[in-house]
Structure 1
Amino acid sequence: MTVLIGLSAALLATGCAAPATESEALRLSKQYFTDNNAAAAQNPQAQQAFFRRTQHPDFADRICDLGATTVELDPALSTLRPDPGFAPEGIRPRGEIWVVGVEVTTRTAGSGTGHQIGSQHLVLLDGRMYGFAPCPRG
């Protein structure tokens, strides 16, 4: 018990948060995907607002406008795992990095325009789950 208290005190003193439990990451990931899909079901503007709200703060200036397109994400939550080496554009985001397999469906004006399997990175930071808004590759 004394060791745990000492470790917690040391983590707090250094400004580090204790690692999230897998159940916490799973719960917050489920909520992230539920909220994403609810926004996509509303309209592109609602989803764009969701992306702005949930974009990782270290990448806040990297949000693309998807126009009339929405992105539905169906995660395979059993694949959720830590991915501490993830560093988009060579920048490692602050927080605990997780990756999960997803099925992605894009729609424009309500019609399906794309469907693929991929992965989604999420980052747990300060008790919130953040993502990275999708940007079309040209």
Structure 2
Amino acid sequence: MEAKLADFGLLRMFNIQETNVFTDVKGTLGYLDPEYVSKGRLTCSSDIYSFGIVLLQLLSGRRAIDLDQSHQESLIKKAKKVIRANPIDPSKYADPRLNGEYSREAFIILLKLAVVCTASSYQGRPRVSDVYEEIEKALKLFTSIA
């Protein structure tokens, strides 16, 4: 029961910090940074986008792209709709298999984080250190009620 993520850190293979890398666009549909797809520009922010998609999947229990459902609302659009509501109702996004057994506050922090990570432009996405801080904050909330 330990989740493992792979393929985050392509830029480290090239020993590049925030410089742009121009290559043929390759990757898994649904996880690709829109700027990478449109401009062929791969940055550390591209990994942040992909992480945001994975986080949305974990929170919702839905696939990044589900070809079996017609006219489905995208993971990102639905998440944005939920966090714009007042008050925010995590149950409108949460994986039904959770049966409501989660910290509401921690879920909201992670949902907001995922939405920011999936901003259409790299300029609107957080740094890795910011992502880490928000995950730590959510974890503390979760462990304080567990």
TM-score exceeds 0.5: no
Q: Which has the higher strand share?
A: 1
Calculate the TM-score normalised by the size of structure 2: 0.27
Asked which structure has the greater CA Rg, the reply is: 1
Calculate the TM-score normalised by the size of structure 1: 0.29
Q: Which has the higher helix share?
A: 2
